[in-house]
A = this chain, B = another copy of it.
Amino acid sequence: MTYVPKDPANWIPLPGLLDIASEALFAEFRAELERSEYSDIRPTHGCVFRFVQGEGLRLTEIAERAKLTKQSVGEIVDDLVQRGYAKRIPDPDDRRAKLICLTERGEAAQAHGRKLFAKVEKRWAQRYGVERIAALRELLEEIGAAEAPFAAPELAHAEPAAA
Q: Which residues of A contact B (CB under 8 A)?
A: 1-3, 5, 8-26, 29, 50, 114-115, 117-118, 120-122, 124-128, 130, 132-137, 139-144, 146-148, 151-152, 154-155
Please give, as numbers and ranges, the residues of chain B lying within 8 Å of A115 by CB-CB distance: 8
The 3 closest A-B pairs by CB, nearest first: A3-B125, A24-B147, A18-B22
List chain B residues, Cβ under 8 A from A132: 135, 139
Q: Chain A binding site: helix, strand, loop or mixed by DSSP?
A: helix
Which B residues touch A26, using CB under 8 A? 15
Partner of A15, one of B15, B22, B147: B22
Closest chain B residue to A110, Cβ basis: B9
Q: Is the CB of A20 within 8 A of B140?
A: yes
The contact sample of 6 A-B pairs, CB cut-off 8 A, is: A2-B130, A10-B154, A12-B152, A16-B50, A18-B22, A21-B140
- Report the separation of the CA atoms of residues A137 and B126 in the bound assembly, to the nearest whole angstrom: 19
Please indicate the chain B residues that have their CB under 8 angstroms from the CB of A13 in the complex. 29, 114, 117, 121
Contact partner of A128 (CB less than 8 A), chosen from B18, B143, B154, is B143
- CB closest chain-B residue, reference A19: B22
Q: A124-B14, A139-B128 are in contact. Are A114 and B9 (CB under 8 A)?
A: yes
- Are A3 and B117 in contact, CB atoms less than 8 angstroms apart? no
Q: Do B151 and A20 touch across chains, with their CB atoms under 8 A apart?
A: yes
Other A-B pairs, 8, CB within 8 Å; known A1-B130, A8-B115: A5-B118, A8-B114, A14-B136, A14-B137, A128-B139, A128-B142, A132-B135, A136-B139
